[in-house]
Amino acid sequence: MVSIADLKRISSYEWEIPVSYRADMRVPVRIFASETLLKDVTRDKSLEQAVNVCALPGLVGSVKVMPDMHQGYGFPIGGVAATRYPEGVISPGGIGYDINCGVRLLGSRISYQEGKSYLEELATALNQFCPSGVGIGGHHRLTSRDVEDVCRKGSRWAKENGFATDQDLRRTEDGGQLQGADPRFLSPRALKRGMGQVGSLGAGNHFIEIDLVSKVFDQKAARAMGLYEGDLALQIHCGSRGLGHQVCSDYVKSLQSAVIKYGIELPDRELVCAPMDSPEGEAYLAAMACAANYAFANRQVLSHYAREAFESVLAGRVKDWHLHLVYDVAHNIGKIETHQIDGNSMEVCVHRKGATRAFGPGLEELPSEYKKIGQPVLVPGSMGTSSWVLRGTSEAMARSFGSSCHGAGRVMSRTQAKKTIRGEDLLKALKKDGITIRAGSMAGLAEEAPAAYKDVDEVVETVTRAGITAKVAQLKPLVVIKG
């Protein structure tokens, strides 16, 4: 078990587990954390998992771990690892079961003063327009052929069907369409699970939230994003639903034989993987891209219905009820990107699991309006705490493969949370704090209690002090919709 004594201090917010820690490590581990957050890390096996990741073939640089880290499947959640493309490996555990789980933020010019008397109505309307819950489907029942189209086109499918604007696509990571998607590599079960769930939220930690832009730290960046102190904003957090889960399940199982075939030795069978230039690796990459595109489309369709919910309540009552997309970014994904490694430009596959892309200023991948400031980085809190809008930095490109944290990070398992916290008591406490909740169940609410998570403000302080992001705005929750 890795202990704090095993870590080498790089700075107040960065630590290292050197390659000398264990004989099979190909690269070191770099950890972004404050001393306070490090204490939480030793409660689980997240650091041990990060060391295990260091044994994967083709790794370059170092394995990065963000301050919201906690134990996951194979990889720690909050983990970032880059493998040389195409001969390095791709590992489903480094992306996760909810492929392209991510966050999108929509801004408005609705002031809190204008909107506060309508929050209860908006909560009810969002709950009606945006289906949520375990196994719950969306408004549209698709054919298998339709699902294949969604998987190829992502947000472009949504635009073709009237659910998106050109600006929506421009302000979505990769334009909402990951290249290389090929539905031939999806199982019939995955396609079937995708037929009824486009435009649905799901359950667990997924949510829709109306927020108040409570404080702006960077006026120039906030203006570029259309965020103004005192106005309302909307967050949507969800992923690829059953289709993405099935893709991960299918390939975790099928790649077991690839590990044997290619003679890959692993310290943990949950790190199952395959070389990207092998038939098995190419198949997973194509299927993963399909699930990523499904998730982009899913969040886009949810945005469409959230806009309809706002219109149904606010049209004719407030001057401007429209919601504009600030940005949509994934935090469970594998991306082929070019990074500087030891002074050399190198094409790599960046595994981000519970980590957000945080590209700095000047990069061609960013929308024109964000090239001067850097990419928006969206960091949701838990139901009763702040969420944050950050921006990526040049330091992130140099030190973290252009990556940052993705949320608060759990300190309590869902089972433990349900044993410790009563949903009814939490509901009363949140209501007392002025937060309106719509939840599918009290047990589900308890699982996602703020007490089950780290301090998101401390997490954000860490990544900003470390220099891999900069603060733009703080958001305060007003309405939370959960499955």
Neighbouring C-alpha atoms within 13 Å toward the C-beta of 276: 26
| 3 state DSSP class of 9 | strand
Closest C-alpha among 387, 367, 384, 386 to residue 375: 367
Of the candidates 42, 335, 346, the residue with the CA atom closest to the CA atom of residue 174: 335
Catalytic site residue from 70, 331, 351, 406: 406
3-state SS, residue 318 = strand
Backbone conformation region of residue 283, classed left if phi is above 0, alpha if psi is from -120 to 50, else beta: alpha
| 3-class state of residue 217 by DSSP | coil
Q: Per the structure block, which two tokens stand in for 207? A: 């949510």
Q: How far is CA 144 from the centre of its chain?
A: 27
In three-state form (DSSP H/G/I as H, E/B as E, the rest C), the secondary structure along 75-127 is CCEEEEEEEECCCCEECHHHCCCCCCCEEEEEEEEEEHHHHHHHHHHHHHHHH
Residue with tokens 């009237």: 162
SS3 141: coil
Question: Could you tell me the CA-to-CA distances from 14 to 10, 66, 100 in Å, in that order?
Answer: 5, 10, 27
Measured between alpha carbons, how far is 63 from 403 in angstroms, rounded to an integer?
12
C-alpha–C-alpha distance, residues 161 and 436, integer Å: 33
Confirm whether 322 is a catalytic residue: no
Q: CA 346 to CA 42: how far, in whole Å? A: 34
Residues forming a β-bridge with 70 = 77
Q: Catalogue the active-site residues.
A: 406
